[in-house]
């Protein structure tokens, strides 16, 4: 994979921020599943199989959201990639644009007719 791409800085930063927050949510869902399993015991009002089922749903949701996060990050990163058509992609040197036309200086006339 060639990683020599130029990126729009703002779009890349936004993609990274969004991916980070989504990853935190994904990990939190998995952590909630851990807490549910940890809370199951003798004094739990929830039957053991139901508790494991609920925890399994949270784990599945966390994994699914993690996969979504990764895929969305890759899409956002591809969107942030600059193409040669973008004005930000590269600055065109003056020699390619052509020579600049010399500016014509206006001479001030001091009342000469």
Domain spans of the chain, in order of start? 24-82
Helix axes of 9-39 and 48-80: crossing angle, nearest 10 degrees: 170
Question: What does the pLDDT read at residue 27?
Answer: 98
Q: Are 76 and 22 in contact (CB under 8 A)?
A: no
pTM, to two decimals: 0.67
Q: Are 77 and 12 in contact (CB under 8 A)?
A: yes
How does pLDDT run across 41-96, given as a tens digit for each residue?
878 898 999 999 999 999 999 999 999 999 999 999 999 988 776 555 555 555 55
Question: 100 or 73: whose pLDDT is higher?
Answer: 73
For residue 106, is pLDDT > 80? no
Q: State the chain's mean pLDDT as an integer.
A: 83
For residue 8, is pLDDT > 80? yes
Question: What does the pLDDT read at residue 60?
Answer: 98
Q: Which tokens hold the place of 5?
A: 């791409």
For residue 7, is pLDDT > 90? no
For residue 20, is pLDDT > 90? yes
Question: What does the pLDDT read at residue 111?
Answer: 61
CA distance 69 to 28: 14
Residue 102's pLDDT band (boundaries 50, 70, 90)? low
CA distance 11 to 77: 8
């Amino acid at each position: 994979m060639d990683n020599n791409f130029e990126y729009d800085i703002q779009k890349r930063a936004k993609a990274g921020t969004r991916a980070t927050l989504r990853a935190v949510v994904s990990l939190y869902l998995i952590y909630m599943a851990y807490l549910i399993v940890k809370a199951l015991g003798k004094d739990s009002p929830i039957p053991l199989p139901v508790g494991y089922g609920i925890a399994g749903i949270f784990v599945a949701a966390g994994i699914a959201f993690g996969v979504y996060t990764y895929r969305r990050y890759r899409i956002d990163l591809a969107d942030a990639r600059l193409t040669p058509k973008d004005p930000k992609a590269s600055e065109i040197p003056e020699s390619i644009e052509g020579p600049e036309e010399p500016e014509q200086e206006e001479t001030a006339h001091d009342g000469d007719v």
